[in-house]
Structure 1
């Protein structure tokens, strides 16, 4: 079996690492399975791309399509044009896509139009929010996928309600957690740890990336000012894109507790998460890692495509209201973290299950 694996953005790199390890394990067991790794170039900043390949021991891509940025349509079109050429030259039995970025949807469409089967890792998750580009990517990818690999029973149920063939819907667990568990003994202290007098549980991690939060300067400043007053004597560590920090610097905004640092590589970032007091984020994926690491997480969104992180895990959805965040965070400070567990099959073996299933379907 020849598999083409697609990676385009930071979350993709984290998800493909254990899948590649699982393929290599099958190869060592004598199975006829090979892979070609295609990097679309959707993320091209070194801290968002090269660093993850190096740290997670991902082999260098067989090709980088080098599409870079643009509008949603421009980027999607560029990926499709470049990947079609790639797939014509290097045909395969299966194109494997992960997650919900533009590369996922674009390469799935190309594969199907080239009469190649598609496997979608992290299939079936839904936020119900069509204002999110990722939600559209998920829906379109799943509408043409052949093999669905899900992180939860609720994701599997979403697919079955859509009429997907039950024989091709497989609840396997979470490949993000595979990567986390495979690398926990390798996470490392960032260079700035002593400089900012960080220690276990004396800081909070803040991540913001959604356009509604970071693209409008006045709303970003207001949000940061509000969060700056939430935390008492805790520091707030904010890995921030240089462009966003430049905008804030131009507005000469001073914060008492917030420390700005550059985007972090995987091993440094997981160290920071593991040793934090809590996390405030507008990301969906971070709530998976905080759940397994048992770190309280407050997600500033009105919905989540990962409900198990809230119903079972450490995540609390607080909406986009700063007042609501204040209320929920104050309750946490007073009462302590909520009782939480780890979702079913988040055990570090999802990738092995995926590759075993694909080998059996050959």
Structure 2
């Protein structure tokens, strides 16, 4: 199914950014899903993705930390840089095994300069605040990002896991091009307030973990492959008390996929693609065959009845999407600008 599929291009946001309708999440190549994968294999995968029309590459200074950006930089040599829309992120600082979120101007600038160096590029296409620093008014953080746009170091500004009020306040300082959020068949809490806010303001939507952190690719047997360093071992939905229940969900999705002549992962990814032309899912993979399969999701057509049936099944999911709400949009409001004291 995937071999003949042409990856369309879509407008992301209202400021002029155009990307492949499906992106490539690069995190798992270097971090959080077990040991880093062999660098030559990952560079080959990235080049294959670009040759197939997947040109929106997503990374972060957190992944590694830092090593994923270095990997992407190596992959973009030899004239390849001009073919891609490069997205990276800042804000989550890993020190001594603990995460600290920072959005103060000095950190914003230092992070950008460091990412430019690791990626070995002159400009970042889309630069996200990875998580919201609830100690710093969002106007202050966006103000510094606006300066980086004016200096030509970044082209477009994005937010990740931001609340609706934070998105509105940020957009009033400088147009936000994209909001990255978790959106999939089994993670739909963004639909009530965050998605409508983005659409009202003309902000593009980038859906991470569109395959449920691999659940819709492999089903419940996925947990058998978790190795040391795989954060999914701690996600409530993969815990024994929830996994048996969620297994039934996968089996029902699998049955629909068989009926549609596609795989469960293609069906789940197609569901995200059908949410609108302002949505770009960024499934991650470390295997060329899985990437080709993901591209095949673009040719899966779903009727309104198909969508309703899938949503009815997914509504029965058990378990929260992460172990703590800290670092999600639900806890991402910042103090008023009037409280900020420059240091």
Which is greater in Rg?
Answer: 1
Q: Same fold (TM over 0.5)?
A: no
Shorter-chain TM-score bucket reads 0.3 to 0.5
- Normalised by the length of structure 2, the TM-score is 0.35
